[in-house]
Structure formats: structure tokens, C-alpha cells
Amino acid sequence: MKFRLTFLSFALLSCCGVVRSQQIGQQISQTQTHNGYDYSIKVSDEDLAGTPSWNPEKTDAAPLALRKAIKIARANLKRFAPDSTDKWDIENVNLHQMGENKWLYEVSFYCFLAKCPGANVGFTLYVKMDGTIVEPEKTVARKQ
């Protein structure tokens, strides 16, 4: 009887360990087109390994304040979409958990037709909790 309990406990621990390791790995992958270029963003939980940890259930303040993340995203937006980004509004901000206690802001900007005649355009940047962005890879857009 003692052998069965030990074996059963070992089997349960082994099973649960495998399931947990499959759930840990996360990735965000996105490509957006602007002014004839594709901007590809790929981020995995490993990319955030050197960033500050945060547990919102234990601490109110994130390592990087929302306002600061938006300021960083807007400053970097000018690098990728320099055409009148002062007219662009924040469309939304999302907070993504990537791995255990690692978080990332997704800041999306949009230029509405009334402000940017001829085209409705948007651009999204990802800001890490250390105040850096996930650098998009820039390539010439493929013709459709």
C-alpha cells in the first residue's frame, strides 16, 4: 500500500510538471505596415528575462508607470511613423503578462480620418517594464 501511494504521488507530480512547462512559454508576434514598410514584432517571455518583475496582487505600483510607458511609446512612434504623429491619438493600452511576474505594455496609436485625410492609420509599440521598447524589424512591404 505504501508503495502505491509513493508511486501515485510521483506520477501526479511528474504529470503536473509537464503541464506547467507547456503553459509558461508565451509569444506575441505581429506585423504592421506603414509607409511602404512592414514592421514585425516578436517577443517571448525570454525577451523579458532582464526586466523588473511585478506581481500586481502584491504591489500596487508597476515598475513602469502607465503614463511613462505612453510617453516612451509616443517618443518612439516618431522613429517609425514620423509623419505628423502629434495628430495621433492613443487608441488603447493593454497589459500583457509574459512568464512569471513579467509584464509588457502594448500601446496602440491611431490617426483618425478627420486628422489625417486620405488614410486611417495605426501603429502599435510594446514597452517593457524597464522602459525600453521591443524593436520592430523593418523590411520593405511586399506588394499585394
Q: How does the average pLDDT of the chain come out, rounded?
A: 80
pLDDT at residue 66 is higher than 90 = yes
The lowest-confidence range among 10-24, 34-48, 65-79 is 10-24
| Residue 9 pLDDT | 37
Query: Which pLDDT score, from 0 to 100, does residue 112 have?
Result: 77
Q: Which whole-number Å values give the CA distances from 85 to 73, 94, 136, in the listed order?
A: 11, 20, 17
User: 131: exposed, middle or buried (C-beta count within 10 Å: 0-12, 13-18, 19+)?
Assistant: middle
DSSP 8-state secondary structure symbol assigned to residue 142 = P
Query: What pLDDT does 10 receive?
Result: 35
pLDDT confidence of residue 20: 27
DSSP β-ladder status, 103-111 and 89-97: antiparallel
Q: Using an 8 Å Cβ cutoff, are 30 and 40 in contact?
A: yes
The pTM of the full predicted model, rounded to 2 decimals, is 0.77
pLDDT (0 to 100) of residue 22: 29
pLDDT given at position 137: 94
Rounded mean pLDDT of 23-45? 84
What is the mean predicted confidence (pLDDT) over 135-140? 94
Handedness of CA 64, 66, 105, 142 (dihedral sign): negative
Of 1-15, 38-52, 92-106, give the lowest mean pLDDT range.
1-15
As a whole number of angstroms, the distance between CA 23 and CA 115 comes to 43
Q: Domain spans of the chain?
A: 25-140
Q: Name the grid cell of 110.
A: 491611431
What pLDDT is recorded for position 53? 96
Region 33-41 average pLDDT: 89
CA dihedral 26, 56, 93, 128 (to 10 degrees): -60
Single-letter code of the amino acid located at 48: L
Task: Answer whether residue 132 shows pLDDT above 50.
Answer: yes
